[in-house]
Amino acid sequence: MSLRGSGPFLGAICALLGVHRQVLFATVGWVVGYFLAKRTEYIHAKQDREMFEYIRHHPEDFKTAAARGCGAFRFQNAVMSLQKISRAGGGERNK
């Protein structure tokens, strides 16, 4: 037995019954996605924290840029110059 064939009023009500399901499922999907995104960010932050802690405690396992080659040396120089700029007050951005 279908309610759609019972007149225009009941047909309109049945059409609206599908809308509330769409809103409900969209809301549930947004909430699930929000919490999954928060969990992945937490897991990646935890892994980063552990990795940086390991690097800090074992610097001998990670060679300097000069021992790796020319490209890495230029990259290390760029990083060092950016660190100097940030220590000096941020350069042009903070003026």
Structural domain spans, the chain: 1-62, 64-95
| First and final C-alpha spacing in the chain | 74
**CA dist 21 → 10, 29, 35 (Å):** 17, 12, 21
Distance CA 12, CA 43 (A): 47
Of the ranges 35-44, 67-76, 78-87, which is most confident? Answer: 35-44
pLDDT tens readout for residues 41-70: 999 999 999 999 998 888 888 876 655 555
pLDDT on residue 65: 60
**Please, are residues 78 and 84 in contact by the beta-carbon 8 Å criterion?**
no
Asked if 36 contacts 43 with a C-beta cutoff of 8 angstroms, the reply is no
Per-residue pLDDT band at 94 (split at 50, 70, 90): very low
C-alpha 29/C-alpha 60 separation (Å) is 47
29 against 79, higher pLDDT: 29
